[in-house]
Structure 1
Amino acid sequence: MKKTLLYAALAVAPAVATAQDAAPRRIGFESSYTDISSGKWTGPRTSDGQPDVQGHWSNTIANHSNFTDPQGGVPGDPKPSRRAVEPRDTRAPSRVTDPPDGQVPFQSWARAKQQEFVANFHNPTAPQYIEPLARCAPGGVPKSFMWHGYEIRQYPGYVLFLFDSGTRIIHLDGKPHLDKKIKLWNADSRGHWEGNTLVVDATNNNGKALFGRSGEFFSENAQVTERYVFAPDGQRYNYKATITDPTVYTRPWTATIPARRHTDPSTADGWHYQVALDHAGKTPVVEHYERICAENNIGFGNVSTAQAGQAR
């Protein structure tokens, strides 16, 4: 058991350093974001009429180290980043946009549980103090939108998200949710388009994923109403999730995670996607990395790549 905890703790440490130090140099995190209004979609559409938002995306303000202080690093970090020691008002705002204080409205017992996780994060003495994503578990809702880049693909009746930590399918066919006894890391998602906004009802969460290395969580009773509001030019969108879970919170609350599209090959890197050559070795092809990290499998960060000009 002690060896297992040690290995998991070591897996956490380099991931934090890499995400905080390398990612800003590669894609440039921002300290603010602009609200996007719901309205008509005037851009291209897919064959079945969906707004065409396919491509490579990533969040714009920080990774998942801290949910309510996105650029502040993991609370209590013995080696905090430069941004973490700067005044709070110089960093990006909390992802919690309602309530106005930027804090998750936990019930007292749930806040104590979250704080217990934080207190033990840097020296975990039990499995529950190790962040699930460090063990290659799926990121879950809403953390998958904060961890590295991801790809959106669309098919008739579906929207598909390809994350580093698993996939998620949004069903647009109007069928009912799965039986409530079935619980999933990435939820059971049923959605529809309202102009430029993809509206999704995410249920059947298993409640195992955390929102970040700051320990925020919900239970398997949570219901998440998501709104993916895309800008008219199709280059940005804001993910807005209203979370209701009366077994954990004192009231429903809303998180906002801004995202931008990546199309410039110069921004490609090992955390988001790669630019390889086609089979003829001539035409650049942008594609998402295939990570071999899977739950209870191999340590995080390993990727499967294609050499330029070679078949996969």
Structure 2
Amino acid sequence: MKCIGFSLALWLLASNAFAQGDRGVVMGVVIDPDGNAVEGATVNAKNVATGAIVSAVSSAKGDFTISGLPAGTYDVATPTLGFTFRSYSRLGLVLHAGETLRTDIRLQWNLNLGTIGDDYYLSIRNKYARLTGPAPRAADGKPDLSGVWQGSPDTNAEAPSPLEWAATIAKKNVENNLRDSPTAICLPGWVIPAQPILYKFVQTPAVIVLLFELEPHNRQIFMDGRSHPADPDPTWTGHSIGKWEGDTLVVDTIGYNDRSWLPTAIPHTEKLHVIERYRRPDLAHLNVDVTIEDPGTLKKPWQLHMTWTLAPGEEILESVCENDHYRERVLGK
């Protein structure tokens, strides 16, 4: 019996080794337009046949390695990184069994053209990347979301399904380099918490205040059990009510005006309804899941999944927008 058991163990080890040997690797280096290494870039390898995505984050030298990939065709991509780098994609990479495939990534500047000091997204994420510990609790026993967080877009975002009129406007907005963005004239432009900026939670049992470095700089989430008003006066940030479902903060918002944009420069109507779910699995991370509903704009609800990172040494600074001069200086007259 011992001999049979030993033989079985050897067979299992050999089978596992064979299976691992059948897997491939995609590796490379991420650099900026000047050839400098980019640390903290998320690189996604998506299997075209199955839709499965495996990710890696570039090191201080810009290196990344995505291992354990079955043979197949892959799309390799990085999302937009802060305000500095545009998204990148390379489609149709064929990976054979056991192969190590190298594909280097040269990112392109985004609207800020790599201006030093204009974008802190990657530097702050990299600065606090090694924070560990359990998620804290507030005095009332609820998860404590308090603190400054580095926001982030969805790094594996699903494509939205806009109606034809909205898709036409969004395409125009992108083609003219977001010239018509409300933020270009100092108005609140982005209503979904998916921007690469700093956010700060101020948490009490009755109300949660979210501060951020974009117009209008704050929003209130009422936690006292009230309902939405029957006929809300449309505002930039809408009317938000929240509740706890276990350890998840669920925020329901209606009452938006139709002057701001959804992600990817999509317009919206006053029918917009947003549900946010915030969960803190540990000290350093905040999972943010957002469902966007607008039957006047979208064919179906749009879901985004972000992970914010704690930035305990940072603070929300005063931010003043000089009306209409941003568009003049950055985008031209």
Structure-2-length-normalised TM-score: 0.56
What CA distance in whole angstroms lies between the structure 2 residues aligned with 1:158 and 1:227? Answer: 16
- Identify the residue that residue 197 of structure 2 maps to in structure 1: 148
Please tell me whether residue 288 in structure 1 is matched to residue 316 in structure 2.
Answer: yes
- CA change 1:262–1:184 in 2 (3 A) is same
Deviation at 1:197, TM superposition (A): 0.8
Q: What is the letter of the counterpart of residue 104 of structure 1?
A: P
- CA change 1:19–1:241 in 2 (3 A) is farther
**Is the Cα contact below 8 Å between 1:151 and 1:161 reproduced in 2?**
yes
- CA change 1:19–1:254 in 2 (3 A) is farther
- CA change 1:21–1:162 in 2 (3 A) is closer
- Identify the residue that residue 31 of structure 2 maps to in structure 1: none
What CA distance in whole angstroms lies between the structure 2 residues aligned with 1:18 and 1:239? Answer: 29
- CA change 1:134–1:194 in 2 (3 A) is same
- Identify the residue that residue 230 of structure 1 maps to in structure 2: 280
What CA distance in whole angstroms lies between the structure 2 residues aligned with 1:25 and 1:226? Answer: 24
Q: How many residues align?
A: 210
What 5-or-longer segments of structure 2 have no aligned partner?
A: 1-109, 127-133, 328-333
**Is the Cα contact below 8 Å between 2:112 and 2:118 reproduced in 1?**
no
- CA change 1:43–1:59 in 2 (3 A) is closer
Question: Which one of the candidate residues 179, 182, 194 is aligned to 1:132?
Answer: 182
What CA distance in whole angstroms lies between the structure 1 residues aligned with 2:259 and 2:120? Answer: 26
Question: Which one of the candidate residues 24, 27, 32 is aligned to 2:124?
Answer: 27
- CA change 1:15–1:188 in 2 (3 A) is farther
Question: Which one of the candidate residues 150, 157, 180 is aligned to 1:58?
Answer: 150
- Identify the residue that residue 216 of structure 1 maps to in structure 2: 266
Deviation at 1:196, TM superposition (A): 2.0
Please identify which structure carries the higher strand content. Answer: 2
1 or 2 for the larger relative contact order (CA 8 Å, sep ≥6)?
A: 1
What CA distance in whole angstroms lies between the structure 2 residues aligned with 1:114 and 1:257? Answer: 22
Deviation at 1:28, TM superposition (A): 4.2
- CA change 1:109–1:159 in 2 (3 A) is same
Question: Which one of the candidate residues 267, 282, 296 is aligned to 1:247?
Answer: 296
Structure-1-length-normalised TM-score: 0.59
SS in 2 for 1:114: helix
What CA distance in whole angstroms lies between the structure 2 residues aligned with 1:222 and 1:201? Answer: 11
SS in 1 for 2:208: strand
Q: Which has the higher Rg, Structure 1 or Structure 2? A: 2
Aligned positions of 1:69-84 closer than 5 A: none
